[in-house]
Chain A
Amino acid sequence: MTAASEAGQPAVPAPGRPEPRHGLRIFLIWLVASAIADPLIWFLLGPHMPPGAMSSSAAHQQTTINVMAVMSVPVMLFVLVYSGYALVVWRHREGDEEDGPPIHGNARISATWIVATAVIVLGLFVYGTVELIAPAGAGAGEGPTPIWKPGGTPLQVQVIAQQWVFTYRYPQFGGVETPQLVLPEGQFVQFNVTSLDVIHSWWAYQLGVKADANPDVNNVAYTKPGQLGTFRVRCAELCGLWHGAMTNVGYVVTAAQFQSWATATETRLAAVTKNLPPYSTTYDANAISTLGKVPTELGMNGAGGGFYGPQVPVQP
């Protein structure tokens, strides 16, 4: 705007009146808005951000989401404040056909912009990279030979996926297998995730653990439950007709309750446990060496589902 604009328009300063310091105005509005929004996000919304803080991995993921929100909200507010300010102060007025002044060559603004964005992006890159591996792999599947491991001796829990159910094997308790997932509070858990058929993905949402379940692959993930309660498990890989029903509820209990449950379960399921194959990180259903006489004579050599017995009337 210039003094050459028609008189009587509010945005056009009268001769002798200095142009308002728009940059300072915008900065102050943005500063106040950010100073209000960020504490609200951190202290009010933060504790409720997904996936919660039920485990070490979940707590780190929640903190990461909160950090990202606190960093990004001022950026969003700057865009909104600038746009709102422009709409109010620099809106088109009747009779004003003049273009705004060209702005270029402001080295200070350019340098500030480049430095600020570089610091933000590189800072988040470093922070995000660290959070990808902390703590102990951040709850993600690390494959059969994990790089980031917790100290001590974690509780071993094998997650066995099949269409369309998850079961869990506890090798430190006689290799017992159960549809129930019970974990002790305050102890690192090592999940050994595998599948007996197609690809699945084991997602313990509130624990912040998600690992692909692939046949013939042991995918290791770690976490340390930190709160008592229940958590929801679901399959996160489309795996067939009842994929949507492939869910179950897990429990985090005290260490004493876990010991009691595990011991009782080992005893209760002893009869079926002795029929299970020896504990292994993966299982090959296509080659079962212990098949009995009659199944073998019927032409079976496993439970792969690909054979055709003589009773099948139509062969493909």
Chain B
Amino acid sequence: MSLPVRVATLIVAFAAVVAVAIFIVIHYLLAGPPVEDFTSTASAGQVNVTMQTDAQTTVTDKPDWVTYFIKNPQTGQWDHTTLFKVPANTRVNVTILGFDGCTPLRNQFWGQVQGTIGGVEYLNGKPVSTLNSWAQCAVQHTFSIPGLGLSVPVASPTSLQANNNLCSTSPCTSGPHTVVAFSFMTPSKPGVFIWQCRIPCGLGYLYGFGGPMQTFGYMTGNMEVAA
């Protein structure tokens, strides 16, 4: 093999390795759900965030994973993400459309609303401070930000019929669901706060806390508080 051919082969092989490395970095390491930016929509010290919970994620290759969706504040479309950005020192009014069915809490303590303004959530318009997920079909997920002491049980449809006829295509636009609303204040300093669900809803995974429970875009995410 002549020298030019050997040099060309070496260059091509090196370029191929670099290309593979770049592909891996872009498609696997840097890939992630989008961040919904609510900072530009704040008005009078308040911002409105709308989410929904689904029993499935038919928009991805994990159709049996439970998930959150967040409504894009600019387009009004449901985006498959759990990352959002809100301003500091602002009242965040959260509305969650709960399209999933009930699951018992492993720790009934998280049936209590904690850290919201007034210590309540509004379930279909009525204030509620505690839900009993064992005695009734009452809770489907929680929205918990440990760093803020916030934990809100997301109420579920209560009847057997509703739970057997849940929406099966995500993002859901119809079907049995609850409307849970609550408000909390963001801290005065910027930072990133993780949030998670405390219901063992990662079905089929260890103790129900694997899979979607530990994956951004499904049942856990970040709330970025911007200055």
Contacts and interface: CB of A to CB of B under 8 A. Distances in A.
A308 interface: yes
B130 A275 contact: yes
B208 A245 contact: no
Given A164-B196, A277-B108, A313-B168, A198 B207 contact: yes
A291 interface: yes
Given A198-B207, A305-B205, A272 B163 contact: no
A300 B205 CA distance: 16
Contact of B146 (A165, A291, A307): A165
Interface in A292-316: 292, 294-295, 297-298, 300, 302-316
B207 A298 contact: no
Nearest to B204: A316
B88 interface: no
B111 A311 contact: no
A304 B207 contact: yes
* Interface-centre pick from B56, B111, B205, B207 (highest chain A CB count, 10 A): B207
A306 B160 contact: no
A271 B129 contact: yes
A196 B206 CA distance: 12
Given A164-B196, A271-B112, A312 B104 contact: no
A64 interface: no
Contact of A288 (B111, B134, B201): B134
Given A198-B207, A292-B134, A304-B208, A269 B160 contact: no
A288 B105 CA distance: 11
Contacts of B55: 311-313
A311 B164 contact: yes
B107 A298 contact: no
B52 interface: no
A98 B162 CA distance: 97
A298 B134 CA distance: 13
Interface string B192-227: 001010101111111111100110000010000000
A27 interface: no
B134 A313 contact: no
A185 interface: no
Interface in B119-177: 129-130, 132, 134-137, 146-147, 149, 158-160, 163-164, 166, 168
Contacts of B137: 292, 294-295, 298
A309 B163 contact: yes
Q: Is the interface of A mostly helix, strand, loop or mixed?
A: loop
B147 A245 contact: yes
B63 A313 contact: yes
B109 interface: yes
Interface of B: 55-56, 58, 63-64, 100-109, 111-112, 114, 129-130, 132, 134-137, 146-147, 149, 158-160, 163-164, 166, 168, 194, 196, 198, 200-210, 213-214, 220
28 contacts: A164-B146, A197-B200, A197-B206, A198-B207, A242-B194, A242-B214, A271-B112, A272-B108, A272-B109, A272-B111, A275-B130, A275-B132, A291-B135, A292-B134, A295-B102, A297-B160, A298-B101, A298-B163, A303-B200, A305-B106, A305-B207, A310-B164, A311-B101, A312-B64, A314-B63, A314-B64, A316-B64, A316-B204
Interface of A: 160, 162-165, 167, 177, 179, 196-198, 215, 240-242, 245, 269, 271-272, 275-277, 285, 288, 290-292, 294-295, 297-298, 300, 302-316
Given A285-B207, A303-B208, A308-B204, 19 more contacts: A167-B107, A177-B107, A240-B209, A245-B147, A272-B112, A277-B108, A288-B134, A291-B135, A292-B135, A294-B158, A295-B102, A297-B160, A302-B104, A304-B200, A305-B202, A306-B203, A311-B55, A312-B56, A314-B56
